[in-house]
Amino acid sequence: MKKRNMKTLKIILCSAALMLSSQQACAQANGSVYIEELTWMEVDARLHGGKTIAIIPTGATEQEGPHMVIGKRNTVVRYTAGEIATKLGNALVAPVIPYAPSGRIYPPEGHMQFAGTMSVSNLTYQMLLEDAARSLKQHGFRMICFIGDGAGSQLIQSQVASKLMEEWRSDGIKVISVANYYSKNGNQEWSETLPVKVSHPEAHAGHIDTSELMAVEASGVRDNLRAMHSERDYKTTGASGDSSVASDTYGRKYLSLKIEAAIKQIQNASGHAK
């Protein structure tokens, strides 16, 4: 009877070892840095393997002029966050937060004046960021980075990061808003070196915005509707910039500058600057 029990125990232990080995092999085989593309066991394996930086990318569901799809910022920030995580080597990317404060809902203001825009209040956005970060901390991530692709997210991300950084100081958890990705990336300076001169290249749905989406997902740009717009056009078109000379080539450069700016800021904050 004892021999039979011992044999059963050995079978169970062998099965468990094989299952663990299989899970580790699957985790290694799936090279994705996107948490939503991994199983929980694969995420757990990566955490134990040293991938302890979590990137929370934030986009927006807001109008981008007559020529770009509403999900432009979500598409771009998912791509750039993935590139940043891959280059860092020890990071994973949480699902994109697709909503941002994009204008008062009623009576509508800002981007909410255009069909399809989805806006949330500042308080809702703050709570969403906090809960996302708390979830990742609970699972064992040691550094959490907010990376936002729109102006509406920057201040609140900074405030939430400061709040959580102070709250978790004794735990050794770092939380940062990677502001350089959006505001100190060198995009505007580089645009001034182009052979074509563009007025206000950073304007909404303008040269930089359009070039970026052309580089990541060209199908999201309606080429026949690209044009030069000014602030006066905003109320009727939703665009205030010049998209007429945008290109995927320019877009790749703009994106690379944002990616490199983010990597440097994260490395400096983590104490692993290169």
The answer to whether residue 144 sits within a structural domain is yes
The answer to whether residue 207 sits within a structural domain is no
The answer to whether residue 24 sits within a structural domain is no
Q: Are 119 and 104 in contact (CB under 8 A)?
A: yes
Q: For residue 195, is the peptide bond before it cis, meaning its omega torsion is within 30 degrees of 0?
A: no
pLDDT of 29 > 60? The answer is no
User: 49: domain range?
Assistant: 31-184+255-270
Instruction: Tell me the CA distances in angstroms from 60 to 2, 133, 149, 185, 245, one per residue in order.
Output: 64, 18, 8, 20, 24
Structure tokens at 213: 């989406």
The answer to whether residue 248 sits within a structural domain is no
CA 136 to chain centre: 15
The answer to whether residue 166 sits within a structural domain is yes
Q: The domain that contains 83 carries what CATH number?
A: 3.40.50.10310
Instruction: Give pLDDT tens digits for 126-158.
Output: 999 999 999 999 999 999 999 999 999 999 999
The closest of 200, 188, 187 to 242, measured between CA atoms, is: 200
Tell me, what's the pLDDT at 32? 97
The answer to whether residue 6 sits within a structural domain is no
d(CA 30, CA 20): 15
The answer to whether residue 213 sits within a structural domain is no
Q: How many folded domains does the chain comprise?
A: 1
Average pLDDT over residues 212-217: 98
Tell me, what's the pLDDT at 2? 54
Residue 58: strand pairing partners: 97, 148
The closest of 129, 125, 121 to 164, measured between CA atoms, is: 129
pLDDT of 1 > 70? The answer is no
d(CA 111, CA 243): 18
d(CA 54, CA 51): 8
